[in-house]
Structure 1
Amino acid sequence: MSDRPTYDRLGTREHPSLGLDTFGDVPLDGAPGNHAETLREVVAEAVLADRVGVDYIGLGEHHRADYAITAPEVVLAAIAGQTSRIRLGTGVTVLSSDDPIRVYEKFATLDAVSNGRAEVQLGRGSFIESFSLFGYDLADYDRLYAEKLDLFAALQAEKPVSWQGTFRTPVEDKQVYPTTAAGLPAWVAVGGTPESVVRAAEYAMPLVLAVIGGSPAGFVQFADLYRRALKEFGHPELPIGMHSPGHVAATDEQAREELYPHQAELYTRLGRERGWGPYSQIAFNQAAGPQGAMFVGSPDTVAAKIAWSVRTLGLSRFQLKYSVGALPHEQRMESVRLYGEEVIPRVRRLLAAD
């Protein structure tokens, strides 16, 4: 294979990839087996997504009671065995508290068993539990990520690697296995810091913008910065993706009524950890509005907003984070079905009309 993976499989501005993300949200009602049941539900949701035409499923890595997915590559392997076309990745893999060589090996293995459908999205994560869990000092938060991303980028050539850093012993002329047929695509996921955007461009990795607050239009500056930085580093244009929460139902009213109590409970609980105030209906309505960060509503409403976001940012991929708090499995399944059968065709028609 070539020294670097090709990214034409991930979507283009002319033909964007439309995917889904989940963290495996767990109902915090104390019931035994919630985590195991949630993991089985995630597999079922991904199998449905494959069947209804969704392009990508991303599983987020967390290490806390309210999310079930701590080992996304294991769950993705289970999904791979029951699907045939959907691309399989993360949203995100917390590279700072993992070993880049092990991450590469696991996703190269997933790529083999899924017949070339694996990719990985690398980030620092929005939660910090993994640092103490795996023996890392949170004071090294930034340096750990920068150093480990550098090693991961070196591995993508799939040739013997010699590398030296601060936090691990040197790597001297080591080949990592298994190798892949066409390279392992790796995205850099960012929350909106210029330094992270430029770093993604420096390593010639596609960019994923986590748009979970404000408006997608507010991230145009980061998309533009990324494209300028790619040119300055001498790299070709690469995909830009976007991750945002949402929910699809038959009508706008139904989607909002189903999602709001779970969204409010989750954000109020997280707010107690992070010093935010209680989540309100006003905040929800703003986020779910025409230019807010949440994609909530009927297939027509969600499709129109996705198409607007794709045009505004020049996206090659959109990823809807469809699971929120204790939103029931049945409602998540219906949201996945509507997304694949009705939202995606509408988005494609809207963009083709341009």
Structure 2
Amino acid sequence: MPDDVEDSILIGRIWDPAGGGPSPVVVRGGDVFDVSAEFPTVRDICELAEPAAVVSGLDGRRVGSFAEVLANTAAAVRDRDRPWLLAPVDLQALKAAGVTFAVSMIERVIEERARGDLGLAADIRQRTLAGVGADLHNLSPGSEEAARVKSLFVAEGLWSQYLEVGIGPDAEIFTKGQILSAVGTAVPVGVLAASNWNNPEPEVALIVQSSGRIVGATLGNDVNLRDVEGRSALLLPLAKDNNASCALGPLIRLFDDRFDLERVRGLEVRLDIEGEDGFRLEAISEMTQISRDPEALVRQLVGPHHHYPDGAVLMLGTMFAPTQDRDRPGEGFTHKVDDIVRIGSPALGTLVNRVRHTEDCEPWDFGVRDLMGNLVRRGLL
């Protein structure tokens, strides 16, 4: 949980065996309280005029300590008679912004040119970085200066569609997964078995009301198949939206007078990967390096041009560009089964997942119809 947990207003979701379905919870003082009698979904909490103020005074049924619920979530053999954690969002649309950091933009250009070839990518990376040489994170996308830099890329034969979304006027915002398909902390995340070049993408994710107002934040792993997207940007759905490929959590921290969007703008997001082969990778994403302000991204997500009646979670993109060699020189990083991925920030806690082939992860089989039926049977709707 956050370092300043006692000053944090935290909500999430559990699977409640007694009710045979998910319940929104408030985490307070190290304990987990079921508040489904007041709010059947997390969406209902997040759509309140003042979510933090309501939650801070909300009572509920204690279901256990957070440590107990987390331990059951992570257990090799889970006790199905006790609650476990789920992703902290439910009916919100799962959206993500891409190429919002200059380093990420360069890597996407490399992916596109290499067409999934790791060796070719290393050569292109060396030549591209030597040719660019500029500090791109200070560029304002859509500005005259950004247009000038884009023209320099083009003159060097480095035109790419990723330049358009990296420094052009329009952001790349895509659907990361279907409603209710996200996984939470302490469970596997998935990469396709056929993929041989992939990586985690540690990100801050905003909780956005249907009105477009931002009311909280959590952590996310926008798992990416670099070889798939590198073959063609039109394969983005295959590269991004697979079983267990979107992880969120551990909890949502609601905005209040101690934690707001200004603090989000200054967050550091740490990534730690440990492999059973002894491999270790550590990196930091600094939100101060983002090319597009979070509010600007939300304005491109929701407004008169597009509505989300149940709100959305928007992953803000990553500056993590994994070039550290893992097996052979020049081939960079890719996941192996059983990698442990930790994505953490002092203000938001730590999201922890083990990597599996997506085909071997627990299948997503509880959809919107199942949720509605469950809530009706429990007398919550």
Smaller-chain TM-score range?
under 0.3
Report which of the two has the higher share of helix. 1
Q: Kindly indicate whether structure 1 or structure 2 has the higher relative contact order, using CA contacts under 8 Å at least 6 residues apart.
A: 2
What TM-score do you get using the length of structure 1 for normalisation? 0.25
Q: Which of the pair has more CA radius of gyration?
A: 2
Report which of the two has the higher share of strand. 2
What TM-score do you get using the length of structure 2 for normalisation? 0.23
